[in-house]
Amino acid sequence: MPAAFDPHRWPAGLLAALALRVGGGTVLIARSDLAVRQAAFETDARIAHRLLSQRASQHDAILATLALLQPPAAEAPEQRLPSFVGQVLQVLRRDAGTDWPGDADQRAALAAAEQQSRPLQRAVMAQVALGGERGRYALVRAATPASFALVIDARALVPAADWPFAPGGPVQVSLAQRGQVQALVAAAGPLDAAAWHFAFRKPLATDSQPFELVVQRPLRVAELPWVRIGLWWLALAAAGWGYVAWQAQRRAQRRAQELLRLGQVGRLNALGELAAGMAHELNQPLTAVSAGVQAAQRLLADDPPDLATARQAMAQAVQQSRRAADVVARLRRLVERPDVASRLQPCALQATLRGGLDLLAPEAQRLGVSVEWQADAAGLQVQADPVALEQIVHNLLNNALQALAAVPVGERRLRLGVHRDGDAAVVDIADSGPGIAAEALPRLFEPFFTTREGGLGLGLSLCESLASGMGGALSAANASPRGAVFTLRLPTAAPNA
């Protein structure tokens, strides 16, 4: 069965266009959403950078003050600092002639930093792992007579209340040195589970603590704007469905118009009325004829026969039968064939056949008919009146479908053949229906011959006279192993026509 039989098919082109829009739209929506989130993320990251830089400068200021004021060793007021500067864990001092506190490693690291600090006149970070704890670092400022150092807890640099990121959120903030994370300022969930992440990197605005601030925000697939994406998908599906429905409706409309144009609907209605009218008009003269003849029979049987009255009755019967003949002649004139010979032009045979099949597609589909093409003369052109040719094809296909309705569903096959036979083009329309009874075969093309209930018996006679009007012929036979085959022969169009 040709694909055109399915009125609700989604054409491949439409599906491809929809798929493109689904993909493109999804990317656009996700991107615009991500751009908004990224902007918010970067604003927060800049706030974090400013806060951390301020804290780092605060350490410089504390150490500079201690170096300048040189608080007396006996009172050591600097030891009270940790109680009001949250991130300062310890204040260390080295008075002239003494050593830094702590183990040998720590002493050496603090002494090295102090040495660097002296010519620079600013604080310097000591390269030491303080108690093996990540997130702590020591800042040393050389001075005379006493030098000072602060042990700082990076995790306490910014109080939770000042932090721009939501507590418990997915953002990870760390301080890195030479690409290595030195301190997690704010922890987060595992970054590697995320599909993507936003990242912000910027060195702190202080020379003494050469950290790079690294802020990372993982993005999970579930965080994409699925509601908007889903709405977009729905909108596209609705549009696609609407388009397909609209196309199906247009096809149905075109088919209905075409059927009307072929005059099938209108003609049958008109013929139905005509037949009813004719039956009515014929009834009266026929009744009169039969009454006249019966009266004459009786008069002739009398002894002696009443010849004069019998003659009169017979004359009346003749008159009434003429009236009946007039009625039939009038009908004949009404359904007189159009003059097709004057409208001949080259017509594409196979295209006409396909068009006719398309027109009856819904019916063929409803019946579950399988269609087989045997066309080895695809571009064959015939010399015909296009409207008459369409009418013949339509009637023959319609008859075939009606015949197929009489056999079980699985056995409904229609075979369409087009081939050239010398100067003629031949169309075969064969069905696997019940076939034609031997006594019906010779009468098939007679007007008003029908075996169908409600049939008018005009279709084939019309087709036959249209075919012969175009210089062709229409014939019928029984197909083997079963069914009927109708063969239409038409002259091919001259090659230069």
397 binds ligand ADP (CB under 6 A): no
Instruction: Find where tokens 């010979």 sit.
Output: 341
Rounded to 5 degrees, what are φ and ψ at 337? -70, 145
CB of 261 to ligand ADP, least distance (A): 19
Residue 323 C-beta: closest distance to ligand ADP, Å: 27
* Distance separating alpha carbons of residues 25 and 435, to the nearest angstrom: 58
Check binding of 370 to ligand ADP (CB under 6 A).
no
Per DSSP, which regions of 255-406 are E strands? 345-348, 370-375, 381-384
Of 174 and 399, nearer to ligand ADP (C-beta) is 399
CA angle 324, 277, 448 (to 5 degrees): 70
Note whether 418 and 492 are within 8 A (CB). Answer: no
| Separation between Cα atoms, residue 75 and residue 467, nearest integer Å | 128
Within 425-444, which residues bind ligand ADP (CB under 6 A)? 431, 433, 435-436, 440, 444
CB of 326 to ligand ADP, least distance (A): 25
CB of 288 to ligand ADP, least distance (A): 30
- C-alpha distances out from residue 154 to 93, 112, 175, Å: 21, 22, 8
Q: Which is nearer to ligand ADP, 102 or 417 (CB)?
A: 417
Residue 388 sits in the site that holds ligand ADP (CB under 6 A): no
Q: Does 264 bind ligand ADP (CB under 6 A)?
A: no
Question: Considering beta carbons, is residue 245 or 440 the nearer one to ligand ADP?
Answer: 440
CB of 400 to ligand ADP, least distance (A): 5
233 in contact with ligand ADP (CB under 6 A)? no
Q: How far is the CB of 328 from ligand ADP (least distance, A)?
A: 18
Check: CB of residue 470 under 8 Å from CB of residue 388.
yes
In the complex, the smallest distance separating the C-beta of residue 399 from ligand ADP, rounded to whole angstroms, is 3
Region of 234 please: left (phi>0), alpha (psi -120 to 50) or beta.
alpha
Contact 79, 93 (CB under 8 A): no
Residue 392 is a binding residue for ligand ADP (CB under 6 A) = no
414 binds ligand ADP (CB under 6 A): no
> Phi, psi at residue 437, to the nearest 5°?
-65, 145
Q: Is 357 in the site for ligand ADP (CB under 6 A)?
A: no
Tokens of 97: 């002639």
Whether the upstream peptide bond of residue 7 has omega within 30° of 0, thus cis, is no
Contact letters (x/-) for ligand ADP, 443-472, by CB under 6 A? -x----xxxx--xxxxxxx-----------
Report the interface residues with ligand ADP, using CB under 6 A.
399-400, 403, 431, 433, 435-436, 440, 444, 449-452, 455-461, 484
